[in-house]
Structure 1
């Protein structure tokens, strides 16, 4: 198997995760847990996107940081492209009830691409450093550091008024509502979305240790003659 061919599954996996995440992020989770309206804090994309960190960590562990960065740059290109194409396609096919303006699409694409690139490259760096110290902790802390940066950059650039120069804003996201849909303190709705997104990423980072270890172990086993 050629080196390029050995990377193909990771390129496919990263592309699939990013495209699916950009599709699912358009849909809030409709449901209620006690007094919490899930749509106020979560979209379905929050459950798909963290798998990008799993792909990055696997490539980093098996093929090294140089290859991991290549996969990240491919994912970055896909993230920007999907962020531009997905809203128009969803609206045209009836999946999305409202049409996003070109300015709004541009802002989401910039937020998505910037967050993805910086967070994933940080994950590669932290993972590679921790692997030399205590490798089993590398995927958790690499994903954790990347998740913090990814959530902060994406939701700030996409929704915060201070980044209004990037593109059109989202009035619904700027409305005040109970923090995380439950607390007495109020905050702009996008802040609750960011906190909910991060909590899901944190949970999935821990759960993802299971497939991570299984896959790495399968690569570590000696090949039988």
Structure 2
């Protein structure tokens, strides 16, 4: 439990911070939460490298529980256009987080014996891609309007992709921008990943 605690606390802090910061815009296509949420993959990968896949999955499930609690609280807080967290956003967030993080753990574990950078890069890039695709499609796609409750007409407004590309629903631009940040941070996170894992392993030796 002592080994698990730092990972659980770090994951919880990231999930809570991201749920708060997602309410604040950064430019036209992003929120501040886009810059904190990808750190969840860093925490998962560090725990996986140091303590193994089973321990990493426990940290993932703890983050999922915290996320569910944040979503439940968000559904009770009314903003200018209704609840801060709608059912579709809560559902998309939960499914995307759990699916992407568990996939990250599995891929990392499969590649752990390769070069030190290979497992965190491939697991984070693939996990982040799945996370983005699942969340934005479930939360905002007009294709699910007849299945899931909630008004997502605003997210399906046809606009040039990222303001300059082919015409696509607004949510696609939001997803592409979010995905780009996740990929960039997956590469940047290699530095703290290497430093943190080496320090923990050296300290435990």
TM-score bin (small chain): over 0.9
Contact 2:75 2:87 in 1 (8 A): no
- How far apart are residue 42 of structure 1 and its match? 1.0
Q: Does 1:80 align with 2:68?
A: yes
Residues 97-116 of structure 1: pairs in structure 2 closer than 5 A: 97-100=80-83, 105-116=86-97
- How far apart are residue 178 of structure 1 and its match? 1.2
State the SS of the aligned residue for 1:135.
coil
Query: 1:92-134: per-residue Cα shift (whole Å, max 9, x none)?
Result: xxxx433228xx6221111000000000000001111111233
- How far apart are residue 87 of structure 1 and its match? 5.1
How many aligned residue pairs are there? 204
**Where does structure 2 lack aligned partners over 5 or more consecutive residues?**
none
Q: Does 1:15 align with 2:12?
A: yes
- RMSD over aligned Cα, in angstroms? 1.7
Q: Does 1:51 align with 2:39?
A: yes
Mapped partners of 1:7, 1:47: distance in 2: 24
**Where does structure 1 lack aligned partners over 5 or more consecutive residues?**
30-37
> What is the TM-score with the length of structure 1 in the denominator?
0.85
In the other structure, the counterpart of 2:49 is 61
After TM superposition, what 4+ stretches of structure 1 lie above 3 angstroms from structure 2? Answer: none
Q: 1:148 to 1:223 in 2, by over 3 A?
A: closer
Q: Does 1:195 align with 2:176?
A: yes
> What is the TM-score with the length of structure 2 in the denominator?
0.93
Larger Rg: 1
Mapped partners of 1:123, 1:199: distance in 2: 18
Mapped partners of 1:223, 1:76: distance in 2: 28
Mapped partners of 1:216, 1:169: distance in 2: 44
Contact 1:23 1:86 in 2 (8 A): no
